Structure 1
């Protein structure tokens, strides 16, 4: 029973945080492994094939950003309703969530499909690469009718405190994709187009699997529980839209830093790319814990167990800081060792290792902002996470990096220093924001008790 799960989580929030986080982390690890395997399969087709996927990635990332954001809105809304024992309303919200996802998928398909050719041409794809990119992306766009609802359904499970089922679905989907890749790419001879067919087919299978599991969930979309509500749509979107924009902000961040690194040369851009991959590995566990924190804070907020919010958030932040500090320490001690996982080029290893040794000090600061941003999303506040990341990236980090490099003539390590200062500013803002929010909630609760 969902109610029993909420009570169990409330009894031991620390254990609940780990219980919810580990399946998410497993799914993320499998996703990371799949990305490597998928690139390897396509890589055997030649440089043009890899270039085609490289050009397609920013557009595919938009899919991920929209789905991850709307998913956060769905899980936030459902977790709050589950916490307040409003199960029929949670079922109604789940129908709205799937409907919003499908609607956005249709909009993206209608807008995106006619502009595939001009977009890739604008990005600078050569004629041979352009054709491959169009082949790949035209099929992926057809997949929005599977990709979008699958993300929505997975977050319906997460919202009711079930992260194991989405893990099973995601792992099965990714393993199927790995099996189908060589079949469609090599055996059937579809090449790059085959990689797209394998991806879409896997997502379609994932939808079928998720619908099967959803039939046995306590909170599931039932049409008899559905009653269209603009308020429900707004509650999902006011968390989901800023969360999507937050991911897009990070995409622009990488593009901006790449542009600054170009000033020093191609090796520096490549080294930053490798260092960024290592950073993503460092924060991967924090992402998993932050998603589980969103569910917990949503449930506790909905149940009006405000006394649990502060202690749970504080503990989660400590866990995030501890994880990133330990990983950061490993990277600091042996950065060259980790760089060698991705490259054997001595120059890249030296440049990347030096950058990592400075950049690791930003890891715990990123964890603080990420944890608190997710906690606020769980409570139904979507804007804070976006503002926290805007401050880190656009207000502090990128302007300071530009100032250090282009005006003060400092070296490339000053870019890492700018990242640290950005993290310091955003984490300070995050702490202030959650402190004021919790204080306001406690004050409101005290006034209600006084009545």
Structure 2
């Protein structure tokens, strides 16, 4: 972690995480594709229930990223026993939360789907799809914790195996349940929760069979203030980001619903495409995160700086290439999901507008991830809140009133550009410190971090 060239180290760690994220994103993309063969209202329902998927993930991601950040720092200090306690505590916390969500969600399913932005014509499909998805909430959320913690200890390949296996099953089962068993949109949901269960069991098996250096067991749960503070503190930026993403998705669905099911379906398809492309960027960033955390804890600020810029440059080039392609072939891409002229017209313009500023996401995402994993939750939270909350929500609410549907289509692009302008000065100070780290004391100590000699030997 402290001697390998950062470009080679990040690439080796990121390759399996990129695969994991792409395949994970394919879950919802596959459902959108196959459900799109039913009708436009069913396609819109997938967009509505996507907000529910985010809700299921929100605590899982928060606890997963929070514990993952803490675990990476603990392993950097060679505290493996406490790292296992953090893993077990995080795992059982999120299982309990998932059970609660399932119970409440099923009881209040009808008002829940309406709250998420469902129209009267979309509602029956949304209830059918969402009611089944809720059943998988506990283990779907727990999978995020295990996946993130495996990556934090450097076992990205094991994490990828669990995610990829479930996704392959989902792709196979979708057409079988939807068309073969004639279950319609309920078949898509059933295929999803079965495939997610398979992913969960595979990920759990890595801990049970001791392929991981970490352990998951009830006896390892630690009800300690410092433990909860570390997990929740580092994970709060992810919670804020996901929470405002839920609110943003609800507002988007509500605003688009004024213009009919085609508008909801068109914007839903665009969001799936952007999610799919963005998942590769996040996967690459997840290869950067443990490098940042480990080296920051060990006192090698310059390596964090170099790793950050390598990740930003690589991510920007990737997004430029794919944004250009998506912009050129926008109508053809939308048509793959729903061959409805109105859906294609609305979705193609929205996709092209988003592609204009989408490459800025590389700097935004890497800045946020760096802040999370070097223990700067305040900056990470502010940046996480900006893109989908502080910026996007007021933009879409204003533009939808002033420009109508066109304002809805251009709102995300404007939000990305504005958030980039916020991220640059927010990150500049931290990068300056990392580029020129504090000099060593005469004793060889880095202020607050211990002996550089010890860190090097431990790494």
Q: Give TM-score scaled by structure 1 length.
A: 0.82
1:295 is displaced (CA, Å) by 1.7
Over aligned residue pairs, what C-alpha RMSD do you find?
A: 3.8
The superposition leaves residues 188-239 of structure 1 with CA deviations (integer Å, 9 ceiling, x where unpaired) of 6665545444433333333332232222222233567654422112211112
1:380 is displaced (CA, Å) by 2.9
Conserved 8 A contact 1:243-1:386:
yes
**298-307 or 373-382, which deviates more:** 298-307
1:426 aligns with 2:431: no
1:170 aligns with 2:196: no
Of 377, 380, 385, the match for 1:382: 377
CA distance in 2, matches of 1:407, 1:244: 31
Residue number in structure 2 paired with 1:296: 291
1:88 is displaced (CA, Å) by 1.3
1:158 is displaced (CA, Å) by 0.8
Conserved 8 A contact 2:162-2:203:
yes
Residue number in structure 2 paired with 1:156: 149
Residue number in structure 2 paired with 1:329: 324
CA distance in 1, matches of 2:301, 2:284: 20
Residue number in structure 1 paired with 2:431: 435
Distance change >3 Å, CA 403–CA 225, structure 1 → 2: closer
Distance change >3 Å, CA 414–CA 380, structure 1 → 2: same
Matches within 5 A, 1:43-62: 53-62=46-55
Of 96, 100, 110, the match for 2:89: 96
1:59 is displaced (CA, Å) by 1.8
**50-59 or 419-428, which deviates more:** 50-59
The superposition leaves residues 143-197 of structure 1 with CA deviations (integer Å, 9 ceiling, x where unpaired) of 2332232222222211101111111111111222344445555666665545444
SS at match of 1:11: coil
**203-212 or 124-133, which deviates more:** 124-133
**259-268 or 270-279, which deviates more:** 259-268
**70-79 or 248-257, which deviates more:** 248-257
Matches within 5 A, 1:99-248: 99-120=92-113, 133-181=126-174, 192-214=185-207, 215-221=210-216, 227-248=222-243
Residue number in structure 2 paired with 1:318: 313
CA distance in 1, matches of 2:329, 2:132: 42
CA distance in 2, matches of 1:410, 1:126: 17
Residue number in structure 1 paired with 2:302: 307
Conserved 8 A contact 1:397-1:421:
no
Residue number in structure 2 paired with 1:279: 274
Which gives a bigger RCO, structure 1 or 2 (Cα 8 Å, sep 6+)? 2
**123-132 or 99-108, which deviates more:** 123-132
**160-169 or 426-435, which deviates more:** 426-435
SS at match of 1:217: coil
CA distance in 1, matches of 2:278, 2:323: 10
Q: Which runs of 5+ in 2 are unaligned?
A: 451-459
CA distance in 2, matches of 1:333, 1:170: 31
1:361 is displaced (CA, Å) by 3.6
Residue number in structure 2 paired with 1:368: 363
1:71 aligns with 2:64: yes
The superposition leaves residues 95-131 of structure 1 with CA deviations (integer Å, 9 ceiling, x where unpaired) of 1111221122233234333222332355676889756
**367-376 or 330-339, which deviates more:** 330-339
Conserved 8 A contact 1:405-1:414:
no
Q: Which runs of 5+ in 1 are unaligned?
A: 1-5
Distance change >3 Å, CA 88–CA 437, structure 1 → 2: farther
The superposition leaves residues 269-312 of structure 1 with CA deviations (integer Å, 9 ceiling, x where unpaired) of 66554444443344332111111112211222233333311111
CA distance in 2, matches of 1:181, 1:32: 15
Distance change >3 Å, CA 181–CA 348, structure 1 → 2: closer
Distance change >3 Å, CA 125–CA 310, structure 1 → 2: closer
CA distance in 1, matches of 2:117, 2:352: 34
CA distance in 1, matches of 2:328, 2:184: 42
Conserved 8 A contact 2:296-2:304:
yes
Distance change >3 Å, CA 76–CA 194, structure 1 → 2: same
SS at match of 1:241: helix
SS at match of 1:249: helix
Distance change >3 Å, CA 230–CA 251, structure 1 → 2: same
**243-252 or 389-398, which deviates more:** 389-398
Residue number in structure 1 paired with 2:244: 249
Conserved 8 A contact 2:22-2:276:
no
Q: Give TM-score scaled by structure 2 length.
A: 0.80
CA distance in 2, matches of 1:265, 1:185: 25
